[in-house]
Chains A and B, each alone.
Chain A
Amino acid sequence: MSINFKQIEEKLKSEATKLLEEGKVGVVLAYGKGYDENHPLPFVARKASDVENIVFNEYCTANMARYIVRYPRGTKIAIAVKAADSRAVIQLIQEDKVKREDLVILGIPAYGMKNAKTGEVVDSKTTCGMYNPVIYDTLLGEEVHGQSVVSPYDVLAEYEAMDKEARWAFWKKELDKCIRCYACRKACPMCYCDPCFIDQNKPKWGEKSPESHGNLMYHLTRFHHLAGRCIDCGECSRACPVDIPLYLFHKKVAKDCEEMFGQAAGMSIEDKPALVNFRVEDSDKILE
Chain B
Amino acid sequence: MLKVTELGKVVNTAAGDLEILQEISFQLAKGESLAIVGASGSGKSTLLGILAGLDTASHGDVELAGQSLKSLDEEGRAALRAECVGFVFQSFQLLPGLTALENVMLPLELHGHQDARQRAEKFLQRVGLDHRLEHYPKQLSGGEQQRVAIARAFANEPTILFADEPTGNLDAKTGATIIELLFELNKEQGTTLVLVTHEERLAARCQRRITLEAGRLEHTVAGAEAAPC
Note whether A and B form a binding pair. no
A residues adjacent to B (C-beta < 8 A): none
Q: Which residues of B contact A (CB under 8 A)?
A: none
